[in-house]
A and B are shown apart, each in its own frame.
Chain A
Amino acid sequence: SEMTSQRRRREEEEVRAEMSESGAQLFARLEARRCLKDIEPRLFPGDGGPQHGEVVELYGSEGTGKTELLYHLLCRCVLPNAAGGLEADVVFVDTDYSLDMLRLVSIMESRLNSWMRENNEEACRSCLSRLLVVHCSSSSQLLLTLHFLENSFSSRPGLALLLIDSISAFYWPDRCEGGANLAKQEEKLSKCSELLGRLLRDYRITVFATCHAIRRSYSGPSSSSFSDPDRPYLCRAWQRLVIHRLLCSRQEAGNNMAATAGRRQVLTVHCTSSSSSGTKAHRSSSFYVTDGGVEFT
Chain B
Amino acid sequence: MVLLRDGMCPGLDEGLVRGLRAADIKTVEDLVSSDMEELAQRCSVSYKALFAIRRVLLAQHAAFPVSGADLYEELLSSTAILSTGNPSLDKLLDSGLYTGEITELSGGPGSGKSQVCFGVAVHISHQLKQNVIYVDTTGGLTAGRLLQMLQAETSNAEEQMEALQRIRVFRLFDVFSLLDCLYGLCGGGLQRASVGGGSVKAVIVDSVSAVIAPLLGGKQNEGMSLMSQVAGVLKTMAKDFNVAALVTNHVTRSGGGGGEVQPGLGASWSHIPRTRVLLEKGGDVRRPGLRSATLIKSSRRPLLIKEEFDLKWWSRSKEEGGGAAAAASGKRKRDETDS
Chain A residues close to B by CB (< 8 Å) = 61-63, 91-92, 96-98, 100-103, 105, 125, 128-137, 140-141, 143-145, 147-149, 152, 169-170, 172-173, 175-177, 191, 195, 212-216, 218-220, 255, 257, 260-262, 264-265
Contacts of A125 in B (CB 8 A): 69
Interface positions of B from 40 to 82, Cβ below 8 Å from A: 58-59, 61-69, 71-72, 75, 79
Contacts of B29 in A (CB 8 A): 140, 143-144, 191
Q: A101-B75, A143-B29, A216-B254 are in contact. Are A257 and B304 (CB under 8 A)?
A: yes
Report 14 cross-chain contacts, Cβ distance below 8 Å, ordered by A residue.
A63-B297, A98-B274, A132-B66, A133-B67, A135-B63, A145-B63, A172-B228, A172-B268, A176-B221, A214-B267, A214-B268, A257-B304, A262-B302, A264-B302
A195/B33 in contact, CB under 8 A: yes
Q: Is the C-beta of B24 less than 8 angstroms from some C-beta in chain A?
A: no
B268/A148 in contact, CB under 8 A: no
Contacts of A129 in B (CB 8 A): 67-69
Closest to A63 in B: B297
10 new A-B contacts, CB < 8 A, other than A97-B236, A143-B32, are: A63-B270, A103-B299, A128-B68, A129-B67, A132-B68, A144-B32, A147-B62, A172-B224, A177-B225, A257-B304
B63/A134 in contact, CB under 8 A: yes
State the CA gap A30–B256 with chains docked (Å).
55
Find A100's partner among B61, B271, B274 (CB 8 Å cutoff). Answer: B274
A133/B267 in contact, CB under 8 A: no
Interface residues on B, range: 35 or more
Contacts of B318 in A (CB 8 A): none
Find A62's partner among B75, B254, B271, B304 (CB 8 Å cutoff). Answer: B271
Q: A125-B69, A147-B62 are in contact. Are A137 and B299 (CB under 8 A)?
A: no
Q: Is the C-beta of B306 less than 8 angstroms from some C-beta in chain A?
A: yes
Q: A97-B236, A128-B68, A173-B228 are in contact. Are A212 and B267 (CB under 8 A)?
A: yes
CB distance from A176 to the nearest CB of B (A): 3
CB distance from B190 to the nearest CB of A (A): 17
B33/A143 in contact, CB under 8 A: yes
Q: Which 8 A-B pairs have the closest CB atoms?
A: A131-B68, A176-B225, A148-B62, A62-B270, A128-B68, A261-B304, A172-B224, A128-B69
State the CA gap A216–B274 with chains docked (Å).
19
B71/A133 in contact, CB under 8 A: yes
Closest to B54 in A: A147
Contacts of A136 in B (CB 8 A): 63
Contacts of A172 in B (CB 8 A): 221, 224-225, 227-228, 268
Find B304's partner among A102, A175, A214, A260 (CB 8 Å cutoff). Answer: A260
Contacts of A101 in B (CB 8 A): 68, 71-72, 75
B67/A131 in contact, CB under 8 A: yes
Q: Is the C-beta of B11 less than 8 angstroms from some C-beta in chain A?
A: no
State the CA gap A214–B231 with chains docked (Å).
15
- Write out, one digit per residue, whether chain B residues 260-296 have a CB within 8 A of any chain A CB (1) or not (0): 1000001110111010000000000000000000101
Closest to B262 in A: A216
CB distance from B148 to the nearest CB of A (A): 35
A147/B304 in contact, CB under 8 A: no
State the CA gap A172–B259 with chains docked (Å).
27
Find A262's partner among B2, B239, B271, B305 (CB 8 Å cutoff). Answer: B305
Contacts of B256 in A (CB 8 A): 218, 220
Q: Is the C-beta of B15 less than 8 angstroms from some C-beta in chain A?
A: no
B235/A96 in contact, CB under 8 A: yes
- Write out, one digit per residue, whether chain B residues 208-240 have a CB within 8 A of any chain A CB (1) or not (0): 000000000000011011011101100110110
CB distance from B287 to the nearest CB of A (A): 20
State the CA gap A176–B222 with chains docked (Å).
6
State the CA gap A270–B306 with chains docked (Å).
31
Find B260's partner among A61, A128, A135, A255 (CB 8 Å cutoff). Answer: A255
Closest to B220 in A: A176
Contacts of A96 in B (CB 8 A): 231-232, 235, 271-272
Q: Is the C-beta of B143 less than 8 angstroms from some C-beta in chain A?
A: no
Closest to A94 in B: B63
State the CA gap A57–B329 with chains docked (Å).
52
- Write out, one digit per residue, whether chain B residues 31-43 have a CB within 8 A of any chain A CB (1) or not (0): 0110000000000
CB distance from B281 to the nearest CB of A (A): 16
State the CA gap A106–B265 with chains docked (Å).
31
CB distance from A256 to the nearest CB of B (A): 9
B69/A216 in contact, CB under 8 A: no
Closest to A136 in B: B63
CB distance from A270 to the nearest CB of B (A): 19
Find B270's partner among A61, A98, A103 (CB 8 Å cutoff). Answer: A61
Contacts of B297 in A (CB 8 A): 62-63
CB distance from A179 to the nearest CB of B (A): 9
Q: Is the C-beta of B300 less than 8 angstroms from some C-beta in chain A?
A: yes
CB distance from A145 to the nearest CB of B (A): 5
Contacts of B306 in A (CB 8 A): 261
CB distance from A249 to the nearest CB of B (A): 13
